[in-house]
Each structure stands twice: as structure tokens, then as C-alpha cells.
């Protein structure tokens, strides 16, 4: 009989499979169509590649934990590597998303700097993101491996808070700073473009937020809320030490929003990439023979 844990695991596998499909659909046109070879699209392609890696890892992880749990728990060294790889793939995926925000920040603040529009900048920023994704989880591997060598259970007191910091706090801070800079730069630009009207009393009226500014702010808030609500539950619980002895179904349920949030973020990126979205729409209509 299928228990609650298996139901949540199967749901998570379905979610990650959808992420795989979305990432592949988004990635292929960018790779094979030269007109999409610009910095923004290539960084998005980098994120799609990372999503493929992350989703594949989580599908394997859920299968091993859900259907081969006894064998997996008895292989302690394998659990050490999985602890490291879990942090690694999550860091890579989230830092890939944040890299897009940082790149947009540079493009908005320095619109005349050609360097930030070159492919070399794309590879530099993506390379830094990959490097951080591999380096920051190393203490996780070292800590769990040292405990393994000592023959103790894989319980490292500082592990939960450290993973919480590198996976959730660092990306959130960078995301808030970069998007805050984008918003205030765009806002200042809007103020320069619009004239200030003088009211009847001779004073100057303060310009209200334009519809463009409001849309930009709403979108930033939406993305940040999706990010936090998706990734916070499991990492806050782990940092607080609440995952020890937690029922499997509840643990998997806390992990599930992360996959759902990444799906929403992928769809959001695709929706706002009008060029790629229009290309995919035309291809679908062509395949379905719709005029």
C-alpha cells in the first residue's frame, strides 16, 4: 500500500520531470538558433542546463529514498556524497538564477558599457557562478566525511545553519540588492524623462510612480516571494534542527515547494522573454498546422 511519503515523493518526481521538460524546451531554441545568442539568453540557457542537472539529481534522490530506502541508508559513504551533491546542485541552480539578476543590474546601470553585452562577460559571470556553486558546499562534504571517518552518525550540528546560509541567505541578499539597484535606476531614469509639472500654488508636484515602475516593482516582489516561499520551509527547518526524526512524508512535503517555485520561475523567465516565447509559439502553430 502506498503511504503518504510515497505520494509526496511521486508528486515531487512529477514536478521535477515537468522542470526537466520546461528547461529542455527553453534551452534547445537558444542553443540551436544563432539569433538567440546574446548575453541574456545564454545566461538563461545556463540556468536551463543547471535546472536539467538539478531536476535529474532530485528525481534520482527521490527514487533512492522512496523505493530503495533500506539499501541507501546502509550505505553511509553514499549518503555523504549525496549530502554534498544536494547542496551543490541547489547552489548551482539558485546562483544561476541570481546571476541573471546581477547581469540585468549591470546592463541597467551601465547601458553604454559594451563589455557587459559581450559573450566574454557571459562566460565570466557564469564561470564565477559555477565556481561558487562547487566551492561553497565543500565544507558540507568535509564535515560529513570527517564524521563518517570517526564512525559517528551523520549529524553535524553546524551543517543545517551553514546550508541555510549558502543556499538561501546569500542568493536572497544578492537578489534583493541587484533588483533594488535595478528598480531605483529605472525610477531615476523615469524621473529624468518626465517633466515636473507646476501646480497652481507655484509648488512642484511630486511625480507619482509610473505604470512601468509599478509593473517592475510588482514583478520583483512576485519573484522574490516565490523564491522565498519555495526554498525557505525545508532550509529553515534544517537550520533549526527540526528535520531530525521528522516523518518522511513531512520532510518531503517541505522539499516539494522548492521544485514548484523553480517551475514558476522558469515559466516567468519564458513569459518575459518575448522573442523566445514568440519563436516557440510559431513552431507549435507550425507543427499543429495552425495558420
- The pLDDT tens digits for 211-232 are 666 676 677 788 888 888 888 9
Q: Average of pLDDT values for 66-93?
A: 79
- The pLDDT tens digits for 238-253 are 888 888 778 878 888 8
Name the nearest CA neighbour of 13 among 68, 64, 67, 59.
59
Domains of the chain: 4-193+208-277 (1.20.1070.10)
Q: Alpha helices, DSSP H only, in 110-247?
A: 119-135, 138-149, 159-164, 170-193, 211-239
Q: Average of pLDDT values for 106-127?
A: 89
The predicted structure's pLDDT at residue 19: 94
Q: CB count, 10 Å around CB of 53?
A: 17
Does pLDDT of 199 surpass 50?
no
What 211-219 contacts at long range (C-beta under 8 Å, 24+ apart), as own/partner pairs, is 212/186, 213/183, 213/186, 213/187, 216/182, 216/183, 216/186, 217/183, 219/272
**How far apart (Å, rounded) are the C-alpha atoms in residues 150 and 219?**
49
The predicted structure's pLDDT at residue 204: 41
Q: Average of pLDDT values for 139-159?
A: 76
Phi-psi region of 241 (alpha: psi -120 to 50; beta: other; left: phi over 0): left
What is the crossing angle of helices 76-109 and 170-193, to 10°? Answer: 10
**How far apart (Å, rounded) are the C-alpha atoms in residues 212 and 215?**
5
Q: 41 is written with which cell numbers?
A: 539568453
Amino acid at each position: 500500500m502506498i503511504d503518504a511519503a510515497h505520494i509526496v515523493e511521486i508528486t515531487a518526481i512529477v514536478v521535477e520531470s515537468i522542470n526537466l521538460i520546461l528547461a529542455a524546451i527553453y534551452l534547445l531554441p537558444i542553443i540551436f538558433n544563432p539569433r538567440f545568442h546574446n548575453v541574456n539568453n545564454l545566461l538563461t540557457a545556463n540556468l536551463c542546463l543547471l535546472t536539467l542537472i538539478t531536476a535529474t539529481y532530485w528525481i534520482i534522490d527521490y527514487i533512492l529514498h522512496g523505493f530503495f530506502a533500506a539499501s541507501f541508508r546502509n550505505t553511509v559513504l553514499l549518503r555523504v556524497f549525496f549530502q554534498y551533491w544536494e547542496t551543490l546542485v541547489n547552489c548551482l541552480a539558485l546562483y544561476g538564477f541570481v546571476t541573471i539578476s546581477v547581469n540585468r543590474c549591470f546592463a541597467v546601470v551601465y547601458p553604454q558599457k559594451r563589455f557587459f553585452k559581450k559573450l566574454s562577460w557571459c562566460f565570466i559571470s557564469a564561470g564565477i557562478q559555477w565556481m561558487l556553486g562547487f566551492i561553497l558546499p565543500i565544507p558540507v562534504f568535509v564535515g560529513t566525511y570527517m564524521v563518517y571517518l570517526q564512525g559517528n552518525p551523520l549529524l553535524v550540528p553546524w551543517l543545517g545553519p551553514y546550508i541555510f546560509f549558502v543556499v538561501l541567505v546569500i542568493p536572497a541578499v544578492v537578489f534583493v540588492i541587484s533588483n533594488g539597484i535595478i528598480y531605483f535606476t529605472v525610477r531615476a531614469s523615469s524621473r529624468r524623462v518626465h517633466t515636473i509639472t507646476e501646480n497652481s500654488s507655484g509648488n512642484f508636484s511630486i511625480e507619482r510612480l509610473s505604470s512601468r515602475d509599478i509593473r517592475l516593482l510588482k514583478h520583483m516582489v512576485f519573484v522574490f516571494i516565490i523564491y522565498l516561499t519555495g526554498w525557505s520551509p525545508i532550509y529553515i527547518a534544517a537550520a533549526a534542527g527540526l528535520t531530525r526524526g521528522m516523518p518522511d512524508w513531512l520532510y518531503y512535503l517541505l522539499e516539494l515547494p522548492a521544485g514548484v517555485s523553480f517551475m514558476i520561475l522558469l515559466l516567468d523567465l519564458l513569459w518575459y522573454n518575448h522573442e523566445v516565447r514568440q519563436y516557440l509559439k510559431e513552431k507549435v502553430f507550425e507543427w499543429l498546422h495552425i495558420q
